[in-house]
Structure 1
Amino acid sequence: MDFTYLIVILALMTLLAVIVFAMISKAKVEKRKDDPDSTKSTLAADARSDSEPVDA
């Protein structure tokens, strides 16, 4: 096995890991957006500015 194959395999595995992480994160965000009872972000226009951050 040549060193080049190892680099290509590592790059593809890293790309796959990033894509899976992005898809999971996107699903969490969309689930939270659809929940009417979730707390609003402190950056939202209609949220209180003195409330605790959501992800803290």
Structure 2
Amino acid sequence: MAPPPGTATAPGDPECIALAEIELCGELIIAASTADGERLSADRIDEVLRVGAGSR
């Protein structure tokens, strides 16, 4: 998984990549806790992860 945009990490630095993934998981958890209904839509997940639908 690529680090979020704007995150300064070396391409092969596993610690920085792990921290970026943890941050993204936290953002998904926050989005899920505030979502209407039981699940996040694919579009909302893409929005939280800052990816386009075409990159899935």
Query: TM-score, with normalisation over the residues of structure 1?
Result: 0.44
Quick one: higher RCO (CA 8 Å, sep 6+), 1 or 2?
2
Query: TM-score, with normalisation over the residues of structure 2?
Result: 0.44
Which of the pair has more CA radius of gyration?
1
